[in-house]
Amino acid sequence: MSFIKSVKNLQSIISKIKSKKISLDKKTSEKVYSFKEKEHDYYVNLYRKSYNALINSSSELNSLIIADKSNEQYIRIINLLLSDIEEFYRKDDIEKIEQALKKIIAVYLQTKLPENEISSQINIKIIPEQIRADFRADMQELEKCFISGCYRSAIMLCGRLLEIALHRKYYEITGHDILEKNPGIGLGKIIAKLNEKNIKFEPGLTQQIHLINQLRISSVHKQKDAFYPTKQQTHAMILYTTDVLEKLFRKS
C-alpha cells in the first residue's frame, strides 16, 4: 500500500471507530462471546494494523525527494507530523491522530510527484477485467495530463473513470447495461438508480462522487467565470477518485 493510501486507510478506520463508538481502552477478549465484542476486537485490530502500515509505508517518502529536491521541505513537515502521530498512538488519542492525518494530506498535495505516482494510486487488479483496459488507458492519460499541467483535462478524466466504474457496478448488480437505454446518463442519476436497487455506499462516498462530478461539470461546461483548477485541487480530485474506485471494487 502506498503512503497516501495508508494515510487515507487509517483515516477511514478511525472514522468507523468513532461512528461505532468503539473504545480503544477496552482490552481485546481472549474468548469472544458476543457480536459486540467481536466487532470491537475486529476494529481495534484493524486500527493497529492500519497504523503499522502507515509507519511502514513512510519509507517511500524519500522517493519524493529523489524525484524533486523541492519536496524536501514538505517531507520534513510530514515526518514531524508522523512523529506526533506516534505519540498520539501511544495515548490512543484518535482525535489528534485524525487531525494530524488531515494535515499530512494537505502537505502531501503540495509535493511534486514522480511520473509514476498517479497510476500507482489504484491497484489495477481490483478493476473488473471487462473494463480494465479502458481504465489503464485513462489512468495513463490522466497521469500525462497532470504532469503536463493540463488540470481541467485531468479532472474530466476523473469523471470519466467514475462513469465507467458506476456503469460497471450497475451491470454487476442488475445484469442490465444502463447505457443501452440511457447513453447520456450522468453520475448523479446512476447513483440514484443504484439507490433504487437498495445499494448502499460507504459513508461519505456519495459526497465524494458528487464533489468530483461538480468539479468535472465546472471544467467542461461553459460558464460566466471560467474554472481553472489548481495543481492541488486536481491532485486532491485524483486522490478522491482513486479512493472511490478502491471502495467500489475492493473485496469486502
Q: Give the separation between CA 139 and CA 60, rounded to whole angstroms.
A: 21
Span 180-198, average pLDDT: 72
Measured in degrees and rounded to the nearest 5, phi and psi for residue 122 equal: -125, 135
Question: CB-based burial of residue 212 (10 Å sphere; 0-12 exposed, 13-18 middle, 19+ buried)?
Answer: buried
pLDDT band at 26 (very low <50, low <70, confident <90, very high): low
Span 145-157, average pLDDT: 83
Res 252 pLDDT > 50: no
**pLDDT for res 52:** 94
Q: What is the pLDDT of residues 152-182, one digit of tens each?
A: 888 888 888 888 888 888 888 888 777 666 6
**How many CB atoms are located within 10 Å of the residue 221 CB?**
8
Which of 153, 123, 152, 151 is CA-nearest to residue 136? Answer: 123
Span 116-123, average pLDDT: 64
Q: What is the pLDDT of residues 29-61, one digit of tens each?
A: 555 556 677 888 888 999 999 999 999 988 878
